[in-house]
A and B are shown apart, each in its own frame.
Chain A
Amino acid sequence: MSLIQHLKENKEKILQKWFEEILKTYPPETTQHLKKNNNPFANPIGHTLGESIFNIFEGILEERSPDELISDVDQIIKVRAVQDIKPSEAVNPVLLLKSIVRTEFEKIKNTAENREHYAVIDKIDHLILLSLDLYMESREKINEIKLSEYNRQYYRLIQRGNQGQNN
């Protein structure tokens, strides 16, 4: 059986597993709410994550190009970007699918000999995530210095504009 065929047959189960893995880092009090409430407006995070991963997984099964899945990835990232987590954690939901798919793959094909290979690949994934954090750090620094340069340039003007305040 091909992997895609196997994934299609186990779609519901895999999505459920994926969703639960994503919810795991939220505190337990929150996980209950994110899991159980089906109203999209009463549970915007759970709904957005659930809907996006469904669309992404379906896109993968239909062998669509990643470019076509961008709006769903964007939904996940937008939510994660304003939560108290690192960039690497924000993007991790996508990588979580990889380990789930690998487990499924091992069910249809014995790949024990590939374990060593996996260990190396995992390290590389880890480095990719680290790179993302560092990349963000650099981009944020650029924004910060842009803003402080702007403030310095207009310092007197702002000060003048503020006259009449604080005294």
Chain B
Amino acid sequence: MSKYVPTRKNLLKSIEEESNFLSGLTPEKEWLDTPISFRPGNWCHGGKPQVIESLDAPNPRKWSPNDKDWQLPANWQKIIHQGMKDQLDKSRTLKIFMDTCVRCGACADKCHFFLGSGDPKNMPVLRQELIRSIYRKDFTLGGKLLGRLAGAREMTEDVLKEWFMYFHQCTECRRCSVFCPFGIDTAEFTSMARELMHSVGVNINWIMEPASNCNRTGNHLGIEPHTFKQMVESLVEDIEDVTGVTVEPTFNRKGAEILFITPSGDIFADPGVYTMMGYLLLFHHIGLDYTISTYASEGGNFGSFVSHDLTKKLNAKMYHEAERLGVKWILGGECGHMWRVIHQYMDTMNGPADFLEEPVSPITGTKFENARSTKMVHIAEFTADLIKNDRLKLDPRRNNHRTVTFHDSCNPVRAMGMVEEPRYILKNVCNNFHEMPENTIREQTFCCGSGSGLNTNEYMDIRMRGGFPRANAVKHVHDKHKVNLLTAICAIDRVTLKTLMEYWVPGVEVSGLHELVGNALVMEGESERTEDLREDPLEEIEEDEDEDI
């Protein structure tokens, strides 16, 4: 923000002449003519040339979004036009979405970025208009003939800059789509816009670099296999310190029954690592025959934030690894967009995965018929099934120091309907659970404000603004029920909600679901537990006749 604070002369001029509180003036122009302005805090760094080169992606160069000249290819407008034509030809849904919106406004006040910023271009309908206006000009008769009267406009560099700003103020969370009477999926517009921008070299580094790392090394930070293994082993030591139990994960083991894939944030990020410790305890508890891959060492699909081809490539990597190791099926950890890709795209992109078997829980015998084609099961579903069949020894009192609420992560809840399983688990592993208000949870959940590759720190202003509706609901249960832990089943959530809470609701910590499972699990041969997995002291448990745990 410091660079944004203007010089004294400009400041005085702007206070007196521009629309603001002091001058009493309001913006005069229509939204379509209101230009954007890049200020530190409201844009992300552009993709670095070496990163773009490593992916053989178009137009690698050193550039910054606040440069006047974006160094676009000479024929950039043609590339965008052709790209839009290709996408419209390929995707019938997109064509329908272009033409069906009647601007009823049902979506207008549903976007967390609109609710947190008050900027009308964040109304999903207007964000879509940023593209529709070009579609009309290029592809409809009315738009070609009537131009502005029909809501059409030329593709210019200013429009491209506007796209860059507002399609990076959409986290592809799809809350607005829940309310659209036509079911128009705004995330499809954002995907399309990002892919078109990418085709002329306009993208952000925080998406491109993780995508490049996943492509080359297997996970988004580019952690090499030996380091990845060491990191998991250090968690094994921490587990031993807290529980006295030594868990024994294996790596790249051929012939294991199950391949376990989770976001790499669970291996190295705080508080994701505690969730990883929970998984490891769970697998040890039930004696699961599983292995972890150091090559498919990332569940998150950063390709899905930028292009179809990259999504497909990164997704395929997981399946190649499952085939190479000869496992029967894949168990997936608490991740967000990994599950959107698996549940909605994988089958037509890389599936069906016929070389794997239809997933069956080796402990309960439950067939996961919903994963018949993708062969990949969500850990929440897997664990809920274990609890339902009474296969876990749990002592929920070990989470008595936590008063918990649950944040439905956009992708698992809206892209795959993972609604009740996490709640069922929570109610079995802790005693103090309170829901946030109804219009902020389940399919109406509010995004963390930092999803879809926007969780970078130069973007903090926008992130805090976009996360406000979520934080506002957490504040409500924090004030009313003294909630002190926000639990979520997404690695981006675990990192970004913590920051969001520090700003809006201090006093609320963030955790994954399986961290609480790990706390509650009564392990065979364990030492007396006095601390949770974070090594925070447990509340003293009064032993009574209720010993049948």
Interface of A toward B, CB cutoff 8 Å: 24-30, 33-34, 37, 39-45, 47-48, 78-79, 82-89, 92-93, 95-96, 126, 129-130, 133-134, 136-137, 140-141, 143-144, 162, 164-167
Bound: A36/B376 CA distance, A: 46
Which residues of A are found within 8 Å of B217, using beta-carbon distances?
164
Closest to A84 in B: B42
Which of A29, A33, A34, A41 has the most CB atoms of chain B within a 10 A radius of its CB? Answer: A41
15 residue pairs from A and B, CB less than 8 Å apart: A27-B27, A27-B120, A30-B119, A41-B476, A82-B116, A82-B462, A84-B119, A88-B22, A92-B22, A129-B15, A130-B8, A137-B2, A140-B5, A144-B2, A166-B51
Known: A78-B504, A84-B42, A130-B12. A137 touches B468 (CB 8 A): no
Which of B1, B24, B54, B223 has the most CB atoms of chain A within a 10 A radius of its CB? Answer: B1
Contact with A along B7-27 (1 / 0, CB 8 A): 010011011000111101011
Which residues of A are found within 8 Å of B453, using beta-carbon distances?
none
Which of A83, A85, A162 has the most CB atoms of chain B within a 10 A radius of its CB? Answer: A83
Select B8's contact among A27, A78, A134, A144, beta carbons within 8 Å: A134
Q: How far is the CB of A73 from chain B (nearest CB, A)?
A: 16
Which residues of B are found within 8 Å of A89, using beta-carbon distances?
20-22
- Please tell me if the beta carbons of B22 and A45 are within 8 angstroms of each other in the complex: no
Closest to B25 in A: A25
Bound: A140/B217 CA distance, A: 37
Which residues of B are found within 8 Å of A33, using beta-carbon distances?
108-109
Interface of B toward A, CB cutoff 8 Å: 1-2, 5, 8, 11-12, 14-15, 19-22, 24, 26-27, 31, 34, 39, 42, 48, 50-51, 54, 108-109, 114-120, 123, 209, 212-213, 217, 221-224, 437, 439-440, 461-462, 464-465, 468-469, 472-473, 476, 503-504
Q: How far is the CB of A143 from chain B (nearest CB, A)?
A: 7
- Please tell me if the beta carbons of B472 and A140 are within 8 angstroms of each other in the complex: no
- Please tell me if the beta carbons of A39 and B22 are within 8 angstroms of each other in the complex: no
Which residues of B are found within 8 Å of A87, using beta-carbon distances?
5
Given contacts A37-B109, A40-B472, A166-B54, 11 further A-B contacts (CB under 8 A): A24-B26, A27-B26, A27-B119, A30-B119, A41-B473, A43-B109, A44-B116, A44-B468, A84-B39, A133-B11, A136-B1
Known: A136-B5, A141-B2. A166 touches B118 (CB 8 A): no
- Please tell me if the beta carbons of B440 and A165 are within 8 angstroms of each other in the complex: no
Closest to B120 in A: A29
Closest to A93 in B: B21
Q: How far is the CB of B437 from chain A (nearest CB, A)?
A: 5
Known: A130-B15, A137-B2. A82 touches B118 (CB 8 A): no
Which residues of A are found within 8 Å of B114, using beta-carbon distances?
30
Bound: A7/B289 CA distance, A: 73
- Please tell me if the beta carbons of A96 and B21 are within 8 angstroms of each other in the complex: yes
- Please tell me if the beta carbons of A43 and B11 are within 8 angstroms of each other in the complex: no
Known: A24-B24, A82-B465, A166-B209. A39 touches B439 (CB 8 A): yes
- Please tell me if the beta carbons of A83 and B213 are within 8 angstroms of each other in the complex: no
- Please tell me if the beta carbons of A84 and B26 are within 8 angstroms of each other in the complex: no
- Please tell me if the beta carbons of A164 and B224 are within 8 angstroms of each other in the complex: yes
Which residues of A are found within 8 Å of B123, using beta-carbon distances?
29
Which of A84, A93, A133 has the most CB atoms of chain B within a 10 A radius of its CB? Answer: A84
Which of A45, A82, A143, A166 has the most CB atoms of chain B within a 10 A radius of its CB? Answer: A82
Which residues of B are found within 8 Å of A27, using beta-carbon distances?
26-27, 31, 34, 118-120
Which residues of B are found within 8 Å of A144, using beta-carbon distances?
2
- Please tell me if the beta carbons of B115 and A40 are within 8 angstroms of each other in the complex: no
Bound: A28/B123 CA distance, A: 13
- Please tell me if the beta carbons of A167 and B50 are within 8 angstroms of each other in the complex: yes
- Please tell me if the beta carbons of A165 and B222 are within 8 angstroms of each other in the complex: yes
Closest to B16 in A: A126
- Please tell me if the beta carbons of B24 and A166 are within 8 angstroms of each other in the complex: no
- Please tell me if the beta carbons of B2 and A34 are within 8 angstroms of each other in the complex: no
